[in-house]
Amino acid sequence: MLSDEYVVGLTDGEGSFNVFLNTSLKNTQYCRVEFHYYLKLKEDDLSLLKKLKKHLNCGFIYFQKDKRVNHKNCYRYEVSSLRDIDNIIIPFFKKNRLISISRKKDFDLFCKIFKIVAGKKGKHISEEELRRIRKLKSEMHK
């Protein structure tokens, strides 16, 4: 079994919080905001990702083939369900604070963007909100 502290350390080192903006090809005014918590490890560490999935009780694991020279194939643990992001991932990392400054910054921006989207409750995001989301997103992973 993993401890919460171990999950934080693993995320500090190998995790990522991402926000993707997907614009519809049919309606460029419509934009879907997606949230992803990832953790990618070499295929030798699949059992560790399974323990992580069990510990957080959400997400899924998939194989990620890497064709680059000198790179091994990997498995990626991912949580992208809005319900799981809202009820599990965000509360977990608010309670168990990240130590890495860059990872903590990305998580804080991830939460700010999530708050904007969650406040919409199924309504479309306004142009002003979309501009704010894009600005916050541009500060991630720097």
Summarize pLDDT for 119-139 with one digit per residue, the tens: 877 778 888 999 999 999 999
Residue at token pair 């510990």? 55
Rg (Cα) of the chain, in Å, rounded?
16
Helix (H, G, I), strand (E, B) or coil at 32: strand
Report the pLDDT averaged over residues 85-107: 98
What pairs with residue 35 in β-bridges?
Answer: 19
- Is 22 within 8 Å of 32 (Cβ atoms)? yes
- pLDDT classification of 24: cutoffs 50, 70, 90: low
Task: Give 124's DSSP letter.
Answer: P
Measured in degrees and rounded to the nearest 5, phi and psi for residue 21 equal -110, 115
Give dist(CA 66, CA 63) in Å, integer: 10
Summarize pLDDT for 42-69 with one digit per residue, the tens: 989 999 999 999 999 999 999 988 777 7
Give dist(CA 24, CA 77) in Å, integer: 27
DSSP string, 12-64: HHHEEEEEEEEE-SS-TT-EEEEEEEEEEEEGGGHHHHHHHHHHHT--EEEEE
Question: What is the model's pTM?
Answer: 0.91
For the chain, list the domains and their CATH numbers: 4-138 (3.10.28.10)
- Which stretch of DSSP H or E encloses residue 35? strand 31-42
